[in-house]
Structure 1
Amino acid sequence: MLPLLALHLILLSCSRFLISNALASISTKAGLAWSNDNWDDIEQYTSTGKVTWYYTWSPGSVSTSLEFVPMLWGDRQVSEWESSINQTIQDLGVTRILGFNEPDYSTQSNMTPSHAASVWKAQIEPLRSQNIQLGSPAPTSAPEGKQWLLDWLNACGGGCTVDFIALHWYDINSTAFIEYLEDFHDTFQKPLWITEWACQNFDVADEQCSLQNIVDFMNVTQSFMDATDWVGRYAWFGAMENLQGVNQDDAIMDSSGRINALGEQYIGALVPQISSNYTPGVVNGGSGSSTSPSLESAALSCGYLPRTSTLLMLPAVVMLLLVW
């Protein structure tokens, strides 16, 4: 009787994770933040159909089957934007636009909310007449990022249409990531696009995620976004031959431009080897002696089952629950 009770408890705990992972297995929200010189490398990410779009931090596109989403990065691109965006919309069938890149940060587009509002009204807002969906400026995940976005909306005075909120997030705690997204959604009541995110510690430089930490972190955060209806799209940082500014193990391609194992995980072509003792926010872990799992840990481990197996397992879970 006790083993059956234990199995029942585990199945009940697993069911939510199995259903969400089954939904994740058919998600097409994933995209690429693309800045490489070798444009041909982008096609290797299209094999599974999970990656469906890309952006280049600019109005400029590349030759690919993926949907292009132009961005007006900031002031330095206004001239290029004015001269090309309407033709790009016409030629590529563009339906979505991204706003300014980290305007709250001095080394990125570095725009005050009032100035950003005036540039938006002149360069981006008019595209609404072409039925283009407009994504907000994407702030950093620093404490001032969210406030900048609120101040920008206030400076717009109702004159800036926002169809979805774009944002960036860098840290090492997957639980904190999910809570951050929930807070943004609660605040702005709009779909979210996470146009940059990675397992990167900007607070303590010597405490970066190990490769195993990154595998676990990507699995949890990507699965959450795939299964959450108010997350519209996302793009991992980074699909780059020379990864800039973050932990090199976050790269989803090698230095020669070829997709690596983490990239295969990102596009759903590789079942990740997930740590049985993964703890959100703990870095350089994942080793040590194993112990017999408790019922709680066995149930939690269902959240990290390979996505490719969840659709096949759902009928069995349902039948076992009915029999019980």
Structure 2
Amino acid sequence: MERRARALQLGGLAVAMAIPRLLATSCEEVWFTLAEIQGAEVTCGERIGFLQSPQGGFLTENEARAQVSLEVPGCEACWPWEKFREPGLSSRSAKRGIAIESFRLTKAALIGLASIVSWGCTWDYKVAGDPGPGLEDWEAAGIEFIPMIWGSDTIPLAAASGLPNRSLALLGFNEPNFPSQSKLEPWEAASFWPSLEQLASDHGITEIISPSMNYHPDKDPVQWLEEFFAICDPMGCKVDGIAMHVFACYGAGLKAHLDRYRKFGKPLWVTEIACSDPYTPERLSAEGQMAYMKEAVPLLEQDPDVKMYAWFSYFKDQWAHPIVDGLNGDAGLVNPDGTLSPLGALYDTFAHTNLT
């Protein structure tokens, strides 16, 4: 597996050693807090102690604290690394991005995002341009536009119109295991893959990322990828990373998704992330999204297997269908006039392991 930092294995979660600094611990303040895990009452301290034992996996203290902070309600203060950056530090995370539809993006919004994100995607192979921002506006903001070949029908369009030259990467098909998205069987995607390789080569793009997978009850995304690679690997397909979409609402759920995709041994691109789960409506609001973001972003930043991640910037009135009881996630980061939402302002505050 490609790695950019020496890593610890935290119950399946790789945690980077190259962390700016450890927090002044506050775990002791919740050490005796009672919580329930696996049907039993346990204190934060007892769970940390168990995970350090041979029966619990023989984790180091910091590994155990990190795992407990994710899995045990009430023990969040035990996360051992800095979550927020030093005041006044203005450099951006090279990992941090935004997923946003072209028609919702304005020049002012790009300027507003310039200090926060290093890259973005719009589910398109090109920058839409007038009346929205053009490629020159992305470049002026210092934000890398990452093109996507959304579906098989996109291939001839991109071949005719071209891609931005020397982009950082080319994203593969969007959610092919969904009938409402690119809807491709693994063998179909594999048969089209040489065309993506040719497009990338023609435009000086050196990395090609897998189809972007999302959970679907009728077609498991990991199984889909297994079938895809079973066909594509013998063909010598170039796939430099695994793209995934995660709409869990708690850090432990995000961790579980990341762990499933590690089996492919490639850098992970979390190209859509926000809370959008009908079983956790308490986190669909802007306040709930903020609570989730405080768990998710530090986890993504500390994980050396995660190369890129992009927050799915949708306000509650922008979703096509309600998630539950007429509600949708209020996950937007930036307004058309360039002002940040409270969630966008929070996105700007997190510590990072990898700077631009």
Q: TM-score, normalised by structure 1?
A: 0.69
| Aligned CA distance change for structure 1 residues 192 and 205 (closer, same or farther; 3 Å) | closer
- Give the superposed CA RMSD: 3.5
C-alpha contact (below 8 Å) 2:174/2:212 kept by paired residues? yes
Do structure 1's residue 181 and structure 2's residue 258 form an aligned pair?
yes
Give the secondary structure class of the aligned counterpart of 2:81: helix
Match of 2:145 in 1: 68
Give the secondary structure class of the aligned counterpart of 1:190: coil
C-alpha contact (below 8 Å) 1:198/1:236 kept by paired residues? yes
Match of 1:160 in 2: 237
Question: Which of 46, 59, 84 in structure 1 is aligned with 2:113?
Answer: 46
Which 5+ residue runs of structure 1 have no aligned equivalent? 1-5, 269-306, 312-324
The alpha carbon displacement at 1:29 in A equals 1.1
Alignment of 1:264-303 (within 5 A): 264-268=345-349
Deviates more, 1:240-249 or 1:50-59: 240-249
Amino acid in structure 1 at the alignment position of 2:167: V
The alpha carbon displacement at 1:169 in A equals 1.0
Match of 2:298 in 1: 223
- 1:213-258 Cα offsets, whole Å, 9 max, x none, are 2111111111111111111111111256952246241222357774
C-alpha contact (below 8 Å) 2:110/2:338 kept by paired residues? no
C-alpha contact (below 8 Å) 1:125/1:160 kept by paired residues? no
Match of 1:199 in 2: 275
| Aligned CA distance change for structure 1 residues 16 and 241 (closer, same or farther; 3 Å) | closer
Amino acid in structure 1 at the alignment position of 2:156: S
Give the secondary structure class of the aligned counterpart of 1:124: helix
Amino acid in structure 2 at the alignment position of 1:33: A
| Aligned CA distance change for structure 1 residues 55 and 255 (closer, same or farther; 3 Å) | closer
| Aligned CA distance change for structure 1 residues 20 and 229 (closer, same or farther; 3 Å) | farther
- 1:112-165 Cα offsets, whole Å, 9 max, x none, are 111111111123356357451010001112351111111111121343111111
- 1:259-289 Cα offsets, whole Å, 9 max, x none, are 2110111233xxxxxxxxxxxxxxxxxxxxx
Give the secondary structure class of the aligned counterpart of 1:75: coil
Alignment of 1:20-35 (within 5 A): 27-35=93-101
Whose RCO is larger (CA < 8 A, sep 6+)?
1
Amino acid in structure 1 at the alignment position of 2:239: V
Q: Distance in 1 between matches of 2:338 and 2:194?
A: 38
C-alpha contact (below 8 Å) 2:289/2:329 kept by paired residues? no
C-alpha contact (below 8 Å) 1:34/1:240 kept by paired residues? no
| Aligned CA distance change for structure 1 residues 233 and 141 (closer, same or farther; 3 Å) | same
Give the secondary structure class of the aligned counterpart of 1:226: helix
Amino acid in structure 1 at the alignment position of 2:300: M
| Aligned CA distance change for structure 1 residues 123 and 211 (closer, same or farther; 3 Å) | closer
The alpha carbon displacement at 1:207 in A equals 6.0
C-alpha contact (below 8 Å) 1:20/1:223 kept by paired residues? yes
Do structure 1's residue 81 and structure 2's residue 161 form an aligned pair?
no
Amino acid in structure 2 at the alignment position of 1:138: S
| Aligned CA distance change for structure 1 residues 125 and 145 (closer, same or farther; 3 Å) | farther
| Aligned CA distance change for structure 1 residues 241 and 155 (closer, same or farther; 3 Å) | same
Match of 2:330 in 1: 249
Q: Distance in 1 between matches of 2:215 and 2:271?
A: 12
| Aligned CA distance change for structure 1 residues 109 and 131 (closer, same or farther; 3 Å) | closer
Q: Give aligned-pair identity as a percent.
A: 26
Amino acid in structure 2 at the alignment position of 1:43: L
Do structure 1's residue 134 and structure 2's residue 211 form an aligned pair?
no
Give the number of the structure whose residues are more often helix, by fraction. 1
| Aligned CA distance change for structure 1 residues 241 and 42 (closer, same or farther; 3 Å) | farther
Alignment of 1:8-27 (within 5 A): 17-19=80-82, 27=93
Q: Distance in 2 between matches of 1:28 and 1:242?
A: 30
Q: Distance in 2 between matches of 1:32 and 1:209?
A: 18
Match of 1:58 in 2: 124
Match of 2:50 in 1: none
C-alpha contact (below 8 Å) 1:59/1:84 kept by paired residues? no
